[in-house]
Structures are given as C-alpha cells and as structure tokens.
A = this chain, B = another copy of it.
Amino acid sequence: MSVRQAVRPGGRSLRVQQAVHAAVGELIAEVGRDALTVPQVAQRAGVTSSTIYRRWGDLATLVSDVARRSLRTDCPIRLTGDFATDLAAWAEMYQDEMDSTPGRNMVRDVLRGWDGTTAACALLEAVRPVVETILTAAGPPVGLSADRVIDAVVAPVLMRLIFADAPLPAGLAREAALRVAAVARTNVPPS
C-alpha cells in the first residue's frame, strides 16, 4: 500500500516506471482522472496490472506519485533583498500557480493518495526552501521564522483551495505576505 522507492533505480525497473508515469499523464489528459483505471494504465504502459499493484498499491497512490513530480521547487523570483517586496512577489506567484487547473488537480491527486497517517506529502517541503531563501536574502526580519511565514501565507491558500466554496480572492497571498512583513517590521527595535 506504500510506495516503495524502487530499490533498483535503473534498467527495466526504471523503464517500467517511466512508461507507467507517462501512461498516467496521457490517459488523464485523454479520459480524465475519474475514468482512469489501473488495467487501462497497465495496457497503455505495456505492463501487467499486477506490476502496478505490487509497486504502487493502488491507483490513488500511483496518481499521487505522478502528481508530486510535477511540483516545481525552484524560486523563479528575482530577489531584491527587501523582505516585503520579495515575499509578496513570491506569494502572488504561488497563489497563481496553485489556483490554476493543474495546480488544483495536483492538490486533489496528492490528497487522494494520502494514507492519513504518515507525513502527508511534499507539498510543503517544496515550499520551505524558497521561503528560507527569501528570509535569508532579507537578512532576516526579527521574530519571523519560515514556519510563521508559511502559516501566514501558504496555509490560507491551501486551506481555501481545499475547503472553501468560493474562488480564491485575488491578492489573498500577496496581502497576507505584506501583512506578515509589516508585523515583522514593527518588531524591529526602531534603531
């Protein structure tokens, strides 16, 4: 039921993994996630169903596995060194990226493969290094940890994406970023 990281990282195992991942991507585009089945993926990838079941456990885990790999972890923001500016710019980009059709699909797919007990997924871990980069570039504001920033900026986006009925308000993440930056500034002893 759990994804085994392929003990053998090359050769046939790798080819099978690539073929299966590609098949999932193609078929989701063709028939949609809801009509996707394991036997279908197996046939398209040229493997047997039992291979998929043994390696991934079930369809949700497989799709979740594929979805995770579409996460971008880099920070395509030009850093100015000004904390409020940098964080706001990144926050805006983050919200746009998550609140898109592929972004929402990815969140949905990752959650469907979640087993509920172990660590949820890489969704947050992909975000932390970026936030830390922005923090250190700014040198970093008093009393602000990456955790605090993620709680303030990322959490509302994810929460509303999943649980809220209404679409995300424009500027939600950007304003949260500016707010948390402003609070940090008030904590700085006024020289």
A123 to chain B: closest residue by CB: B163
Q: Are B111 and A105 in contact (CB under 8 A)?
A: no
B104 touches A108 (CB 8 A): no
Q: Which of chain B's residues have a CB closer than 8 A to the CB of A33?
A: 116
Main secondary structure of the interface of A (DSSP, over half): helix
Contact B116 A163, beta carbon cutoff 8 Å: no
Interface residues of A in 41-72 (CB under 8 A from B): none
Residue total for A at the interface (Cβ-Cβ under 8 A): 36
A3: Cβ under 8 A from any B Cβ: no
Q: Which of B1, B105, B115, B172 contacts A116 (CB 8 A)?
A: B105
Complex contacts, A164 vs chain B, CB 8 Å: 119-120, 124
Contact of A111 among B152, B156, B162 (CB under 8 A): B162
Contact B119 A108 (CB under 8 A): no
Interface assignment of A30: CB less than 8 Å from any CB of chain B = no
List of B residues within 8 angstroms of A160 by Cβ: 151, 155
Query: Would A165 and B119 count as touching, CB distance under 8 A?
Result: yes
Closest to A113 in B: B112
Q: How far is the CB of A143 from chain B (nearest CB, A)?
A: 10
- Verify B159–A34 contact, CB threshold 8 A: no
Compute how far the CA of A116 lies from the CA of B176 in the bound complex, rounded to whole angstroms: 25
Given A124-B164, A155-B156, A163-B158, A114 contacting B111 (CB threshold 8 A): yes
* 26 A-B pairs (CB sep. < 8 Å): A105-B116, A107-B116, A109-B116, A111-B111, A111-B114, A111-B162, A112-B114, A112-B116, A119-B164, A120-B162, A120-B165, A121-B163, A123-B163, A124-B164, A151-B176, A152-B152, A154-B159, A155-B155, A155-B156, A155-B158, A155-B159, A158-B159, A158-B162, A159-B159, A162-B162, A183-B183
